[in-house]
């Protein structure tokens, strides 16, 4: 009897174990989803933005600078006429530079100091002083700085003093510099650029060439003296 009960109990235990085993089996949790790893190319593609288009290059405005050829005979500025150095005449104080108009009949005497007269005389004769004079140094300085003279002018007569100007081109700029006519004439002869004289100045201070030619004493020239030779 006891064996029968034990046998029944054993079978009941086996049945219970058999039934419980599939139900009580530990469930394995599903694997977590694989993380999304962005590749380098995908990351770059997502974060890359094309650069903005480059603006059109700015082209600086350039000024058309007249060259020396633009000031040849016949190209005088309005109200001016081309003049040439006729001669340099020694005076009691300094000298007189004689500018002659295109017709060769009107002469403008400009009284200058001794140093300016020497420079003008040398350049008029195609000669050079053994050592550089002031105007030689000035032209060398302008050249070394990348510029060159374009023309010179005798612009006006203020009281008894002539007023002139020198035009220097550097790059695309043409600079007009206030100058004494004596210095301007010396620079013009040294650099081979034209000399222009205001017609109003020639009319006010010019003399007939024939009057000067027939006056060996120089009195006619003295009557046209203008300004202090040192200040011209």
> Residue 58 above 50 pLDDT?
no
Q: How confident is the model over 128-172, as pLDDT tens digits? A: 888 888 888 888 888 888 999 999 999 999 988 999 999 999 999
Poorest-pLDDT segment among 46-50, 103-107, 131-135, 194-198: 46-50
Question: What pTM was computed for the model?
Answer: 0.65
> Residue 54 above 60 pLDDT?
no
Domains of the chain: 69-226 (3.10.690.10)
How high is the pLDDT of residue 130?
84
Q: To which residue do tokens 């140094």 refer?
A: 137
> Residue 62 above 50 pLDDT?
no
């Amino acid at each position: 009897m006891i064996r029968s009960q034990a046998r029944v109990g054993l079978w009941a235990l086996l049945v219970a174990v058999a039934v419980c085993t599939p139900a009580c089996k530990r469930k394995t949790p599903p694997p977590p989803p694989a993380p999304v790893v962005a590749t380098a190319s995908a990351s770059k593609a997502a974060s890359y933005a094309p650069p903005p288009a480059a603006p059109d290059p700015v082209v600086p405005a350039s000024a058309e600078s007249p060259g020396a050829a633009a000031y040849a005979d016949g190209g005088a500025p309005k109200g001016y006429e081309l003049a040439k150095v006729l001669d340099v005449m020694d005076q009691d104080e300094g000298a007189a530079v004689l500018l002659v108009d295109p017709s060769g009949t009107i002469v403008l005497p400009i009284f200058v100091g001794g140093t300016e007269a020497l420079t003008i005389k040398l350049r008029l004769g195609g000669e050079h002083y053994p050592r550089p004079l002031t105007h030689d140094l000035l032209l060398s300085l302008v050249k070394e700085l990348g510029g060159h003279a374009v023309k010179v002018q005798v612009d006006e007569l203020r009281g008894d003093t002539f007023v002139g100007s020198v035009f220097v081109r550097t790059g695309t700029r043409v600079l007009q510099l206030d100058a004494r006519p004596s210095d301007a004439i010396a620079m013009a002869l040294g650099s081979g650029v034209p000399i222009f004289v205001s017609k109003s100045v020639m009319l006010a201070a010019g003399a007939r060439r024939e009057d000067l030619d027939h006056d060996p004493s120089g009195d006619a020239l003295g009557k046209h003296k203008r300004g202090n030779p040192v200040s011209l």
